[in-house]
Every structure is written in structure tokens, then in C-alpha cells.
Amino acid sequence: MDILEALDEGKRLSEEDCYKLYDLDLQVLGFYANKKRLKLHGKKVYFNCNRHINPTNMCVDTCAFCAFSAHRHNPNPYHLTHEEILKIVDDTVTRGTKEIHIVSAHNKKGGWEWYFEIFRKIKDKYPHLHIKAMTAAEINFIAKSFFDGDYSAVIDKMLEYGVDSMPGGGAEIFDEKVRNELCASKVSSDNWLKIHGLWHQKGKQSNATMLFGHIESRENRIDHMLRLRKQQDISKGFNAFIPLVWQKDNSFLKDLKPLGSIEILKTIAIARLVLDNISHIKAYWATLGLNLAMVAQEYGADDLDGTIEKENIQSAGGAKSANGITLQDFIDNIKTSNLIPIERDSLYNEIKEY
Ligand code: V47
């Protein structure tokens, strides 16, 4: 069957067809991705009121793409105490924040207890807050450092200490050759997928990311999406796919040429078409900028992530996301695009239509 016929019929694309998608024109991809998006979510654009906290930037790994961890391009190491983290949480709840998204670098200082006890402290004080924490890369690091490599033991601790869902970080690009150049010491691709599968087996949900726009090829991106599609067929717990556009400043790869908007939109549209079993495609405004994230809503995306308040990872690489975004900015931008602003919770239950 011709690829356009397959798209017209809205059937699952064969792996072979997926590898042909980049050959299609942006407007063709956009037409089919938007059709799929409208079928799934109508004109709704989802976002949440969240706060990102990155408790430490001191990392045993040196990933070539990273500007956040303390290294010679970013020589400002920090390691927050639980009191400092709780102060941030005390402050943010006064503004109606509903999710705390915690992502750390990989650091043995404080042991596994430093990673986990903060979840319980937050939950004890604010039981209504959703804790999205522990990327598969962190789970791998903690398992190898403190639990003899036992992922299930770490996942049991997450449940015991109050983690509600897992973020999608650490996926980068699954292709082993590229991964070896980008982040050789990080969790392997197979183990990233295995850890999410174990989390899903517990009846829990997570997200999946892909970091693109560095040394990867188009084929590597398709391969990444297909590995996720396979995992989702098995374990069914991914809520959203988040294509993260790599921000180049202050990293070891800073001389690479950044991607243009057409390639970015094509990738988002392709994600919507390939990942027929993942409900939401997030146009993460922190890496796209709000303008392109809004355009992406007509190329397959249906979500913007959240208000964030403080963003350390992408802004270290040059993104203009350090101080988050206001709820009103989200609402105004979505409405002027003739779309419907929907505040959601972390698991995509609708809280309010504006
Ligand atoms: O895994 C690191 C990426 C990720 C840079 O699950 C960079 O809802 C761009 O995963 N430029 C962590 N990206 C953040 C993350 C995330 C973000 C928002 C929502 C969710 C979610 C997850 O950030 C890392 C890495 O892939 N990253 N450095 C950079 N210079």
C-alpha cells in the first residue's frame, strides 16, 4: 500500500513506511498529523501548573550534549538540602501549583536516602501534590550505586516514598552508536525501556522523551519512535511523547548547527503519525519557544507542558525558559490561536477549561 493511502485510511504505519515519512512535504505531514490530533483531542491544548526542581547539578556522568551538569563549561556546582527544596515547595503551593517535577543529576552524596526522603517530606506536608520524579537514568544510577543493579528494588522505594509518575528524561536517542558518542555511561536504551516497562507493570504511568537536533540522523529519530511504539504496545503506560529540541550553548557540542523550524515541525508531525498508541504529543515550550510550540499545536501536538516557574536544564543550554511562563500567557496564546486552553492534572484528567 502507498504511504499516502495508509495515512488516508488512518491505519498503523508499517516500519518501512515510517522511515519514508521525512520524504513528505511539511504541509502533507502537517495535514495528516493535525487530522489525527483533531480526532483525538479536538481543539484542546493541554497544560498544567507545575514547578520544576533540579536538586543537584553535580553528576558522575559527562554527557556531551548537557549544559546543565557542573563541568568546565558550567562550573557552578550546587546540591540543595531538603530544607531548601521544601522552601521552594512551600512557596510554589501558594500559587496553586499541582505538580512537582523533580529531576536530578547523578550524585552519590547523600546516598539513596537523599533522593527519596524528600518525596515523603513533600507528600507528608502537601498530600495533594503530584510528584513526578526519577528519570530512568536516575533509577539506573541509584540501582547500580546502592541496590546491586536491582531496578525493581528502586521502583519499590519510589512507590514507598510517594512518587506518583515518572518523567520521560534520559531517553536521548536510543541508537547505540549515537548514544555511545553522546552519553556512553548513562542508562542503556534497552534498560531505559525495561525500567519504564517495570514501572508500567505496577499500574503506573510515565512519559517518554527524545532529544534531537544534535548528531543524530532522521533514521535514528524514527528508530527511537519505533522502539517506543513497541514498548507501548507491551506495557501501555506512556501518557505523552516529548520531542526535546537540543539547546546547544555551554555544551561540548556547541559548534553544531541548530535545527530549523521546518525540521522541528516535521519531527513533531511524524511523532504524531508514528506513535499511534501514545495519546499526547507535548510541544515542550521550554525547548521550542512559545511561538513555535503554538504552531506545533497544528502539526500534531496537543500539549505545552506547564508553567514550570524555574527551569535549569534547557536554559543552561541557551533556552529562554529560566523563569517559566504565567498561566495567563498560556491562556492568551491558546485563545488567540482559536484553540481551547485546558488545564490538566499530571495524568491528563481535565481540571478546567478557560
Ligand atoms: O533527559 C539535557 C534533556 C531531559 C539539554 O516527562 C536537554 O513531562 C535540550 O526529560 N537541550 C530532562 N534538552 C528533561 C525532561 C523533561 C522535560 C519536560 C517534561 C518532561 C516530562 C520531561 O532534558 C534530559 C535531556 O534529554 N536535555 N540537556 C539541552 N541542552
- The letter for the amino acid at 179 is R
Helix axes 218-235, 189-201, angle to 10 degrees: 30
pLDDT value at position 111? 93
**How confident is the model over 26-78, as pLDDT tens digits?**
999 999 999 999 999 999 999 999 999 999 999 999 899 998 998 777 778 99
- Return the higher-pLDDT residue of 15 and 252: 15
State what percent of residues in the chain have pLDDT above 90. 87
Tell me what the pLDDT averaged over the chain comes to.
95
Of the pLDDT bands very low, low, confident and very high (cuts 50, 70, 90), residue 312 is confident
Mean per-residue pLDDT, 166-171: 98
- The Cα diameter of the chain in Å comes to 60
Predicted confidence (pLDDT) per residue in 273-308, tens digit: 999 999 999 999 999 999 999 999 999 999 999 999
269 confidence band (pLDDT: 50, 70, 90): very high
Grid cell 522523551 — which residue?
Answer: 209
What per-residue confidence (pLDDT) applies to 319?
85
Q: How far is the CA of 266 from the centre of ligand 1 (A)?
A: 20
For the whole model, what pTM was predicted? Answer: 0.97
Could you tell me how many helices (H) and strands (E) the chain has, helices first? 15, 10
Which residue has its alpha carbon closest to ligand 1 atom 6? 167
Distance CA(242)–CA(15), nearest Å, equals: 20
Q: Which of 314, 347, 348 to mutate to test the pocket of ligand 1 (most atoms within 8 A of CB)?
A: 314
Mean pLDDT for 299-327 is 90
Buried b (16+ CB within 10 A) or exposed e, 255-279: eeeebeeebbbbbbbbbbbbbeebe
Q: Which residues does a 6 A CB cutoff place in the pocket of ligand 1?
A: 65-68, 103, 167-170, 172, 207, 209, 211, 242, 244, 246-247, 251, 284, 287, 305, 313-314, 317
Number of other residues whose CB lies within 10 A of the CB of residue 40: 15
User: What is the pLDDT at residue 48?
Assistant: 96
Rg of the chain over CA atoms, in angstroms? 19
Could you tell which of 211, 214, 310 is best to mutate to test the pocket of ligand 1, judged by most ligand atoms within 8 Å of the CB?
211
User: Would the pLDDT of 179 be above 90?
Assistant: yes
Nearest Cα to Cα of residue 134 among 93, 100, 169: 169
- Other CB atoms within a 10 A radius of the CB of residue 235 amount to 17
Q: Which helix (H) or strand (E) holds 209?
A: strand 206-212
Once rounded to an integer, what is the mean pLDDT over residues 247-263?
91
Question: Span 250-257, mean pLDDT?
Answer: 88
pLDDT for 1 equals: 65
Q: How far is the CA of 281 from the centre of ligand 1 (A)?
A: 15
CATH class of 3-353: alpha beta
Least Cα distance to 326 among 49, 90, 45 occurs for 49
Residue 188: DSSP 8-state? P
If one residue of 313, 345, 348 were mutated to test the ligand 1 pocket, choosing by the most ligand atoms within 8 A of its CB, it would be 313
Per the CB < 8 A criterion, the answer to whether 206 and 238 are in contact is: yes
Nearest CA to ligand 1 atom 13: 246
Helices 136-146 + 151-161 axis angle, to 10: 110
pLDDT tens-place string over residues 189-245? 999 999 999 999 999 999 999 999 999 999 999 999 999 999 999 999 999 999 999
Give the Å distance between the CA of 315 and the centre of ligand 1. 11
pLDDT in tens, 83-110: 999 999 999 999 999 999 999 999 998 8
The residue nearest atom 12 of ligand 1, judged by CA position, is 169
By C-alpha distance, which of 210, 202, 282 is closest to 235?
A: 202
